[in-house]
A and B are shown apart, each in its own frame.
Chain A
Amino acid sequence: MEQQKPSLMWWIKILPLAGFLIFWEFASRNIERGVFYYGSPSSVFNVLSERAANGSLLKDTSVTVFEVVIGFLIGNILGTLLGLLFWYNRYIAVLARPYVLVAGSIPAVAFAPIIILFFGIGIGSKIALVVFSTFVVATVQAFEGAMQANPNYIRLMQSLGATRWTIFTKVIVPSSLVWLFTGFKLNIGFAILGAFIGEFISSQAGLGHMIEIAKGLFNTPAVLAGIAMIALVSVCLNACITFIQRKLIPWEYESNQMNQ
């Protein structure tokens, strides 16, 4: 691989985006009430810079990020522990699996009204919604990852006389990491959705709140500014997870690189 390639690829990647933004700006300026209906890159930028200056953007973003991160951590940690526990004890798995799968088939946001009833309209209900949204995916991924562990690795451990706990720590946990991280990445989207829905229904701050208010005022640029910030949060969280993934499971990343 040459050094030149990545930067060229980078330029090619942003080309469609740049083209789209230019077209959007141009078109919305030349259509009657274009900016009102469709917004425009410059109007979105104006909203962002205005709100960055008065501090409301930072406040809304940090509220949402806080809800997402805390809920994400709780949901994924609990889900992962439960999923791995399913491997460890098949009786629990047999008992709990149908419940988890049914719970997983219900959109977590459908619970939003009840959760808000329980946890109030403050930040607690948003965190709870994020936990609900991410928990099932984490559980399923952890259990599947554990079940996908190479059976010959387990046989090797058994031939050495290892206990189930040793097999769990030395084989099951490391080999399910790849699955866990796939789940974590999926869950970024679910976590943001959970927080957003919570804020959208009732809240005093957050990006969902910002969009909800802007919607009421027919302020399309502000709605789009909120969406842009949500996308930014999502991209940043994804980058964090990828960074941790490379640190924690370098073998997977490196062997993938070699296969390319």
Chain B
Amino acid sequence: MTNIEFNTIGLRIGQVSIIKDISFSLKNGEIVGILGPSGCGKTSFFNILSGLIPQTEGSILKDGVVVADRAHLCSYMFQDDLLFPWRNIYDNVLLGTEAVKPDALESRKADATRLLRLFGLKDFSKKYPHQLSGGMRRRAAFVRTLLNDDRELFLFDEPTAGLDHLLRLQVEDTLFHFLMENQRTSLVITHDVETAVALVDRVFIFAPRPAHIAAEVQIGLARKYGSPTAARTSSEFGDTFQFVLNSYMKHGTAETLPNVVD
């Protein structure tokens, strides 16, 4: 059982504080949401976790030990699908393995086929990204992210943004079942309250300028009812949604409105 802990993470660029004092810990297999308005620093937080930018304060601990090699801690799904146009879908999803773990290529190939089937892309593995719809490309990005199964932590940045409603439900269910079956810890950025309430075990509401944790709400509806879709149709969903939305509006939206121009 690994336990990942973020200890007073902060980011300061010059005189400007972007992220301030973010501390929380993740239990093994937990799905945690980060809900915050656009531009509040959620993605910067992920960039720190994945090692793309160094934090200016704080540390990341795994089982109490500071993590030096961030890149190998996380598998990061960016907002854009970032599929390489010169690779077909199959080669795209195997990119991470090919780039950093070529020894595992043979064993991952079977996983790739299985995951492509799970996300409904079995018949498209030899197609190129430009031949696929946006929703299919997004699902391919999911497969690419999930395939890095040696990583402790999955980071999903707006994973279902831009998908049509039915597809979103379907993808959330698929993702949820995958995470449950494989006991994977994940952080999910979203600015969609509904997704947050349906999918995650608990959610942190980020307030902007600088990004900090304004509130934490326990949810866990998907785990209780078996899937995000089942959670959505449960009697508890409405009240939880209302509660999270109120908290979000109080901490997130109101503060940003006057500065919406920048």
- Name A's B-contacting residues (CB within 8 A): 150, 152-153, 155-162, 166, 170-171, 174-175, 177, 249-252, 254-255, 258
Tier of interface size on chain B: 20 to 34
> B-side binding surface: helix, strand, loop or mixed?
loop
**How distant is the Cα of A252 from the Cα of B84 in the complex, in angstroms?**
11
Contact A159–B85 (Cβ < 8 Å): no
**How distant is the Cα of A255 from the Cα of B131 in the complex, in angstroms?**
8
Contact B99–A170 (Cβ < 8 Å): yes
**How distant is the Cα of A158 from the Cα of B50 in the complex, in angstroms?**
9
B254 contact set on A, CB distance < 8 A:
none
Counted as pairs of residues, one from A and one from B, with CB atoms less than 8 Å apart, the total is 63
Q: Which of A159, A162, A175 lies at the interface centre, i.e. has the most chain B CB atoms within 10 A of its CB?
A: A159
**How distant is the Cα of A150 from the Cα of B96 in the complex, in angstroms?**
17
- How far, in Å, is A162 (CB) from chain B's closest CB? 4
Contact A249–B128 (Cβ < 8 Å): no
Across the two chains, which residue of chain A brings its CB closest to B86?
A174
A177 contact set on B, CB distance < 8 A:
86
Contact A158–B71 (Cβ < 8 Å): yes
**How distant is the Cα of A159 from the Cα of B52 in the complex, in angstroms?**
6
- Name B's A-contacting residues (CB within 8 A): 50-52, 69, 71-72, 74-76, 78, 80, 82, 84-86, 95-96, 98-100, 128-131, 148
A161 contact set on B, CB distance < 8 A:
51, 69, 71-72, 99-100
A157 contact set on B, CB distance < 8 A:
99
B76 contact set on A, CB distance < 8 A:
156, 159
| Interface residue from B50, B84, B130 paired with A258 (Cβ < 8 Å) | B130
- How far, in Å, is B109 (CB) from chain A's closest CB? 17
| Interface residue from B85, B86, B99, B128 paired with A160 (Cβ < 8 Å) | B99
Across the two chains, which residue of chain B brings its CB closest to A250?
B128
Beyond A158-B71, A159-B78, list 4 extra A-B contacts (CB 8 Å). Answer: A156-B78, A158-B51, A159-B74, A175-B84
Known: A166-B99, A166-B100, A170-B98. A175 touches B86 (CB 8 A): yes
A-B contact pairs, 16 of them (CB 8 A): A153-B82, A153-B84, A155-B52, A155-B78, A157-B99, A158-B52, A159-B50, A159-B71, A160-B71, A161-B51, A161-B69, A162-B100, A166-B100, A174-B86, A251-B85, A254-B130
**How distant is the Cα of A158 from the Cα of B76 in the complex, in angstroms?**
10
Contact A251–B86 (Cβ < 8 Å): yes
**How distant is the Cα of A153 from the Cα of B72 in the complex, in angstroms?**
17
A152 contact set on B, CB distance < 8 A:
78, 80, 82
Contact A251–B51 (Cβ < 8 Å): no
**How distant is the Cα of A153 from the Cα of B99 in the complex, in angstroms?**
13
- How far, in Å, is B59 (CB) from chain A's closest CB? 19
- How far, in Å, is B98 (CB) from chain A's closest CB? 7
**How distant is the Cα of A152 from the Cα of B148 in the complex, in angstroms?**
19
- How far, in Å, is B68 (CB) from chain A's closest CB? 12
**How distant is the Cα of A251 from the Cα of B100 in the complex, in angstroms?**
25
Contact A160–B96 (Cβ < 8 Å): yes
B84 contact set on A, CB distance < 8 A:
153, 170-171, 174-175
Contact B86–A156 (Cβ < 8 Å): no
- How far, in Å, is B74 (CB) from chain A's closest CB? 7
Contact B95–A170 (Cβ < 8 Å): yes
